[in-house]
Amino acid sequence: TQPPEEGQGTEETADTEANRETQKSRPEVGKERRKMALEDRAARVKRKCCEAQGESCSPADWIRQDGWPVGIHNMGNTCWFSAVIQSLFHLPVFRRLVLNYCLSERILEKCKSHSDKRNIAFMQELRCLFALMVGSTRRFVDPSAAVELLREAFRSSEAQQDVSEFTHKLLDWLEDAFQLAANGNSLEDKKENPMVHLFYGTFVAERTHEGKTLSNIEQFGQYPLQVNGFNNLEECLEGAMVEGEIEALHPDQTISSGSKRWFSKLPPVLTFELSRFEFNQSLGRPEKIHKKLEFQEIIYMDRYLHKNNEQTYNRRGEVKRMKEHLTVLQQKLECYRSYGSGPTNYPLADMLQYMLEFACTKPTSVSPHLPPSPPKPIISLTASPSSSLLSTCQQKHSSSQRMPIYKPFTQCRPPMDAPPHPAPHSVTEEELRFVKTCLQRWRTEMENNMDELKASIDRVSQALEGMYSDNRLCQVPYRLHAVLVHEGQALAGHYWAYIYDHSNQCWMKYNDVIVSESSWEELVRDSYGGMTNASAYCLMYIDDRLPHLIAEDTDDETGQVMQGMDSLPPILGRYVRQDNHWFQQELREWEEQLYQPPQQEPAAPTAASTTTRVPSKKKDESAEPVPQPGPAQEPTGEQGQEPEAELMMLTPAMQGIIMAIAKARQAFDNEGPEAGLIKAFQEEYSRLFELSQEETTAQQDPRLHHALVYFFQNKAPNCVIERTLLEGFTDRNLSFDDRSISIMREARAKLRLIKPEDMDMEEYMQWHDDYSLFRTVFVYLLTGLEQYQHGKVSEALNYLNHAYKDNTMLLRRGEKRGVDQSLIALYRRRCLKELNDNAATLFRSSEVNGVEEGVIIMNEAVIPCMHLMSRPDMISQEDLDTMEAIRSHWCSYLEVDLDDSLQLKLGEFLPRVLDCSTERVVLKDPPTVRSKVPHDLCSRLAAIMESITNTSVVAVK
């Protein structure tokens, strides 16, 4: 979350007398501000550490664990969004409402207003977000589409949003969206609105005026509660239900009593909004209230219901009397614990004990240098030991100024014969007996009185605690479902949520992308407040009597619980599967780039530079120059300083889109983002179509450059081509200047308008799967040829077998779906011949190791390859001739005089060589292939074909 701007929350005042008085306290104000700034900075550092732990640079760490909840990515000041959405998503009844939200075509045609269109668009984005949170394979999902719609509703997208403000806006939008589905605006229709039924309740406000009781019924969603002045949630509710009475200044004026509130209908989901902010007049800024406020996992709402008003009213009166009596008892007990009229008080029982010890201390003879003291009266029981000592010392005064005076407070040490404690100089046995009897009796009386007071206080406290604990007022239990926590100050901080997992019966902590198991103890530490600057901001309770609120979806036929993708509607299921497909593709591309070996020889600069530095662009700067094809260059800033730069991977497809956006600059500047997107779309479409018309040669294949070239050549449907190109303009790597960001957002908005039912998503995914398989075939082919050139014939044969098999599947769907099959077949035959000759040579060597190695080559390489070649749909005349030559070669050994061991081994594998179709052969999986990046494939194709054909010209795009 962004920190507040410097000086935010303050304003200049005139140099008045009041202002001068205020300036006197500026050091304290500045100190307080610095303290708050340090707390804010600590909160931000803590949050950044959490994000660093949760968002790894490797996509492999973004994979969701089985059954673990999904986090939500923080898009910048959107932790409030994550906290609220997670608390609602993990309420199964609400999740079902959102996922199954649907409007008929008739209702959609009637929605003409901006608010209706906005609410429908938000519901669509929320449905997609919820669907991803159900079935995505990602560890956290991107909420940017829904967040963008919400941010437009607030005045500033950069300011931190308040949870209550956001939740009010969210509930309003959801209520309006479901009202459209209810198809009506009347009061009866609103009753059918599921949002109103789930989150909204009503209360009765009563007040007495001139002897008459006035009441009205009001609706509420989030119920606000004050924190200051209360210690727990029950006290907050009591304070919100009963307001103080208004007393008249004169007897002849009318008197109005304070209002009372009673819940007439409680919603199934009861949300309390805790008011933890107040405005500090001296600082001129809002402040957060860090007071401790306790709450329980289960609360009973019976005493706040209107139907129990008489019973509750009587008990409130009794509670009031008992609290007043408790206050009197506590005051009396305090008088015993803190006795005295001076500035310092002491426990009365201790004072009596001290006086008893003083009276019982044995007196000693008076120093010979001092005159005898006069008889001393009985000491007052209210005098402290220090006052007695002082009066005794003041009496030790001589009439002669030359006589030495003993000063107990200034002399370094007392005389050696002085007693260790003060004691009376003279006391008779009768006086001592009298004093001891009185002090002991009084101390015993005081202790008995204090014990009786403590017992009375305990009885009254227990009676107060059990006032609402009988069964008649424990019929409406509400269980805590979620706690929204805010850490920081009023102007900056961070939000997260604790949510109860009803299935596993444990608490979970949702902190943006980080989802972890928690405990009630951790929740209390972070939510009660009073210890740190973290405290609960919103409490969500659910009616514990309604099990359907937390019940998961079940199959109507089998009754089994449906989880994951099974619980999604078909349209959303296809959407999630598509996103999971793209995520798997991202993982594959990441792994290919990560494990791609470095080039051994420096290659000439190509149009497809792997990296390009894109400098950050300020708003008042002119358009950035388009990254041109060529080597990566370091941009230079003003005064020889390099501006901030972000290193990101730019594929040739992305470079083409960037150049298209640059060509659309004039349209963007004159007509806006939509016109700029259309112009850039047309430019890139034309470029790729022209590229698809280029001739395919042995050294280059235009289809490797872009999926659309492949689609154009294979005459894919226009909807597939247009959607694919439009998705290219939504890439997050385009967010390097204002123009690109605007076009990217416009493209995302256009993409959201394409409904799943507007096109066949299965067909769309099939086209992209075919192109991915086409590139895989090319990787197998190039890797096999490279291995063959390096003399690794066995490895090369395995790659070529996979390439031939997958390429056959593609060619069945179209002539240009795959690569030239003859090239794969040619080098597969060459590898097969060489391996067979090598196996025969080893077999004839008669060496034990050589024979075993030769048999292994036949069983693991030659025979499986012949099995694939013998399939009727894959065989050619050249393949038949090659297999016949291999069989003839091994049959010739039958006429040769071999050892018995060789004859036995030949008899084991020769039948399989003669008839390969009699057994099932499974190919070994090839090792991890090199990169499938388009420019890398083009370069490798040109290089390997040059080596094979010995040409001198290499065309690399």
Active site members: 79, 494
Q: Side chain identity at 391, as an amino acid letter? A: S
The label of the residue with tokens 């040669």 reads 697
Q: Dihedral of CA 53/55/57/61: which sign?
A: positive
Q: No. of H helices and E strands in the chain?
A: 31, 17
Using only C-alpha atoms, the chain has a radius of gyration, in whole angstroms, of 43
User: In 239-348, at which residue ranges do the beta strands (DSSP E only) sit?
Assistant: 260-265, 269-275, 277-280, 285-288, 298-300
3-state secondary structure of 145: helix
- Whole-number Å distance between alpha carbons of 853 and 846: 11
Task: Tell me how far CA of residue 166 lies from CA of 71, 162, 218, 221, 474, in angstroms.
Answer: 19, 6, 22, 13, 33
What are 216's strand-pairing partners? 205
Q: Measure the CA–CA gap between 44 and 487, rounded to whole angstroms.
A: 10
Within 10 Å of residue 359's Cβ, how many Cβ atoms? Answer: 19
Helix-, strand-, coil-residue percentages of the chain, each rounded to 5: 55, 10, 35
DSSP assigned state of 339: B
CA dist 102 and 757 (Å) reads: 13
Angle between helices 163-182 and 79-89 (to 10 degrees): 50
Contacts 24+ apart (CB under 8 A), 6-9: 8/285, 8/491, 9/283, 9/284, 9/285, 9/286, 9/491
Residue 28: partners with Cβ closer than 8 Å, 6 or more residues away: none
Q: Give 101: exposed, middle or buried? Use CB within 10 Å, 0-12, 13-18, 19+.
A: buried
Contact 796, 831 (CB under 8 A): yes
CA distances from 521 to 141, 355, 527, 667, 922 (A): 29, 49, 10, 59, 56
Q: Which residue has the tokens 């008076």?
A: 366
At residue 740, the 3 state secondary structure works out as: helix
Using the structure block, give the residue that is written with the tokens 């040829």. Answer: 785
Tell me how far apart the alpha carbons of residues 537 and 705 are, in angstroms, rounded to a whole number: 53
- Copy the structure tokens of residue 676: 């700029």
Q: For the chain, what's the residue count?
A: 957
> Please, which residues bridge with residue 271 across strands?
222, 540
Give the separation between CA 909 and CA 919, rounded to whole angstroms: 12
The pairing of strands 222-226 and 269-275 is parallel
Short-list 133, 161, 135, 134, CA closest to 513: 133
Distance CA(474)–CA(468), nearest Å, equals 8
Q: Which residue has the tokens 């006795």?
A: 339
Ranges of H-type helices in 596-664: 652-663
